[in-house]
Chains A and B, each alone.
Chain A
Amino acid sequence: MNPGSHKKDPYYNSLTRKMILTVISVSFTPMILVSGAILYQFHFSYHEKVRAHLEELVKKHKQNIDYFLNEKLGDIRFLAQNSEFENLCQESYLEHQLATLQQELDPVFVDLGMVNAKGRQIAYAGPFKLGKAQYSDAEWFKQAIKSQYFISDVFLGLRGLPHFIVTVRKTFQKEHWVFRATIDFMAFNNLVENVRIGKTGFAFIVNKEGKCQTKPCLDIIPSKSNYMSLLQNGKRDIDKIYIVEAVDDFGKKNIYASAFLKSGNWMLICQQNKSDAYSDLYRAKKVAGLIFLLGGVGIITMAILLSRRMVSHIALADREKDMMNQQVIETGKLATVGELAAGIAHEINNPVAIMVEEAGWIQDLLEEEEFQEGENLEEFQRALKQINTQGKRCKEITHKLLSFARKTDSRIQVVQMNDLIDEAIGLAEQSAKYSKVVINTNLEENLPFIQASQTEMQQVFLNLINNAVDAMDSKGGGTIDITSRLEEENILINFADNGPGIHRNNLARIFDPFFTTKPVGKGTGLGLSICYGIIKKMGGEIDVKSVIDEGTTFSIRIPIPKGRLN
């Protein structure tokens, strides 16, 4: 079949489209629903997991840092409470205490100092030369003098290094004194710096103003606005851990987990790149997407291929149906015409019979004496004879019409086609000789016997031979080649002449009843339609091919019933 032919047909195009769409939608809908639901669930639970992990981490570190700060504060408090005020004001005592602290407890204490109410450092022990330093304007001092215990933010101070201090207020002689200890920034920093999550996660601490209290990790400059909003959000509950997702200044999506430290003064923030945090999820999504894409391409390809193939099958079936319909119509037409012809033939027969009889009666009367002398006697007789002749012609026509509808002798006999062909040739030989037509035969021997009506087959053969002879008569002679051969399970008989050929316009109508190219009165136009009817009735086919000026070939294909081949 030719796929191009039905492609042009808009009906089949829309059919193909509909089938493709149906297959695709039917396949995709469950796929999208199932994978969507699974992906959503996975997304949701993975988010939960990541958040829980972050929360746990932040909580642990919050506790660690709070513990660290409280411990340091506790150390200093212990020292301050268990020491005499005078001792605390002596640098040697402080040095001794500092050494003890560094040795016994923790090396995080850098220095110790005693500051009076006016902000002057009375005593100092440590690596920096800070004796007598004036702190009255320092921010930390202003706050430290107001409360019992105080932990400052990280600042550079006089020494020019980042540090923070822990202070304990002492009251001596109704005056507030501040005992201070400096905590090594690096040691504190390590607490936070060691917090690493995934590839991009890190932690840091900011104060209320959003200033970093630890060294920010790597080269990432934390986006201030995000922390500020976190800080403001977090005002509500000091113990709670907040997790938000936001875009930083670089346009990267980050997850921030935050917890308050130092009674809400500081905030521990864990920051992780979202893509890093959810990397497994993203990978799963990518894989799922790839599978979806491949599956989708597969489905679409299949849908297109399948639909095309189905539609081409449908088109083929439609075409076969059309052909069958055409044949049914053709057969029906012939049958109707046959019935009509039979009716007409019978009806015409009676009036013709009467006319002929009346003419005969006149003829009878003319023979009587009184008319014998009439001067027009001969004319009368000629006319009556003519009426008789034409009546016989009518009879012949009705004969043919009726044999088209009803076979005169349709008894089925076992026949040998070659014999029938020979007989038909014998019958036609005389007229063929007249028209200078030579009939050649090339008949395959040992053709199987088949069951057919002898007279009907002869009618077909004679018709075809006579047609050929008639056609070549005008040309002044020619040849007819009759061949018969066995082809698979058919007997194939060809009648090929080298006559003038049949015009293309006539070729399609050649088997139609009453179609004739012969002059009026010479042909009834029934011969070939009778042949057609006979061959069709046998389950065979009759076909014609013709080329103008080269000749015409009629082919008859008669099936051999199964089992008769042997």
Chain B
Amino acid sequence: MEDKLTTVETAKELGLLPEEFDKICEILGRVPNFNELSVYSVMWSEHCSYKNSIVWLKTLPKDGERMLAKAGEENAGLVDIGDGLGCAFKIESHNHPSAIEPYQGAATGVGGINRDIFTMGARPIAQLNSLRFGNLQQERTKWIIRGVVKGIGDYGNAFGVPTVGGEVYFDDCFTVNPLVNAMSVGIVEKGKTVSAISYGVGNPVFIVGSHTGKDGIHGAAFASKDITEDSADDLPSVQVGDPFQEKLLLEATLEAIDTGAIIGMQDMGAAGIICSSSEMSAKGEHGMVIWLDKVPTRQANMKPWEILLSESQERMLIVCKKGHEDKLLAVFDKWDINCEQIGEVTAGERLHFYMHNELVADLPAESLVLGGGAPVYHREYREPAYLQEIAKYNNAAVPEPADLLPVMQHLATHPNLCSKKWVYQQYDSMVGTINMTTNQPSDASVVEVRGTDKALAMSVDCNSRYIYADPHKGTAIAVAEAARNIVCSGGEAVAVTNCLNFGNPYNPEVYWQFVGAIKGMSEACLALGTPVTGGNVSFYNQSSYEGPVYPSPVIGMVGILDNKNQHQTLYFKRPGDLIYVLGEMNNDLGSSQYIYSYHGIKHSSCPHFEIDAEVKLHQVLHQIRANNLAESMHDIADGGLFINLIESGFYNKLGFNISTDAALRTDAFLFGETQSRAVISIDPHEQPVLEKLLNASGIPFRLLGEVTEGAVRINGTEYPSIEAFGQLYDEALGQIMEA
């Protein structure tokens, strides 16, 4: 064994707590050497161990009829979509790397999440992302945006899986610490999935893919601390991506699975070889011996701990059936990918790592992993002081503008609401030729499942402002909106993956936000029948300048259209069609983009939301769709009814002539963000049938007016045409970015 023993001081430098160092000594029955201590420091980091979140994550609903793999069981969630197929999907953050090296940080985020999907044997068919950036007036913010978007594009485009949807938000709180969350969705034949497991004494262990370098060492630990002025010194913690290698790895991996030679497989993401070997071994209740000198490296003289912890991208660990090595080697040779045996499965439950015949680390696998020996903490939490500011908010005191046009122009060009064309046109959204929303836009992205009648609908949603105002209700809204998007697209909401982006969990006010978010998510997921299949927690999203970012539990949801022909689009079809709003109209302006940026009120209540009303709305929308009554269906979200209506009009350049409710404030009617509402347009002939259905349902509804040839008319006042608004909406972000 390496002679140099460690001290509690070394442990602290590696990010471990003194009591964690004591626990390690207890587990090993001795003082760890530096290799071992490094291993614990990453495996027990927040990123790998979920030590500060797991207690609460376990309370999330994870049962459902369609579940094939529940949260925590595999690399990603897996749901049954019928026709003998499963859908694997997951979302993950790459926030810290993107903060200091936007291009590689975002690119490797895309690579990592796709590997999580194909390591299970599923072929990724669609990608989404959820991005939050800071103040657009700052050149540095634009630099981050350009880098992140190009990073996602270059990696995802070359990888050859369409980026079909996403969201982009801007707020000053994300200026230093942007949020970059990537989601991947894949399809696998039921029974052909591969587990991240290791068993069978004597079975050979292979490393496949890229050479191992010094990049990304301590990346998981880096992700588990605040961003400070010194963070740029952590640059080597950012990995470098190679999408070409990933594409080859995808094809080779799926082909290798077909040979039947594979026992188990796990991609190497955070904490590299040590993470894969320990998690697979712990799961299979076996030991493993690894000869680190056999790992192909990019540079000579890498230290054992560097090889163990390297987060070099595009690598997999494979446990192969003994005697079937040739099949594995043939496939990887065909694709010109490294495939080296570096160890074998052993009896017992210990991991032994050798370097040139010298034992350099000897650890019980179980002690390293989540659900095993990794620490579990109950953090204290308390209501944040800022909630008192929110409690002071008086909706009635918000002045109502005499002229609505400046508000309309403000909202139509606001970066949070306007077209994100400048971003998404840099992503290949059409490769794979299954994206049905390219030419038929709907609230959720819809892709056909080739070889079946079905389609999948998917959406990522989170309004951080709402969650800041009320984590519980705000997160429930995020779930509800994702489901609403799917329902408005003709689908049935099925299951959730989440990416929980918060500040430092040791700050009780931040932790209070986290706890509230989990409770709200549980409540909404139970009510909507969408279990949580897994996801990712990203704490420490805060900077020394701005404090914690707005809490951002991003919800990624997948839904099913049993028949792809039931795809419902969001845009107006014909002049003269009638426009209805379904759901409650009221005077609520809380947390709307309108009062936040037009009036500059940064502290206000979370929008009105009741889960029962949401469930009811979805039932009604399903009925409308089943009876084929609606020409268009579009949920009311950020920016309120007005933004909804112009978005419905752009595609066919059709406007609207509507009247508001005289009993309500006009600004609240048009720009308020009360939840559980949707707009539909119908052929006038369907009016009696629709109104009968709506009356029977008991949900509030209102005939707003009708679709026009292009004019925008509200309460008899003529505004600029839909084409004029369209131009503002389309070009706003590009003008800022190219300025």
Q: Do A and B come from one complex?
A: no
Query: Hey, which bits of chain B sit against chain A, CB under 8 A?
Result: none
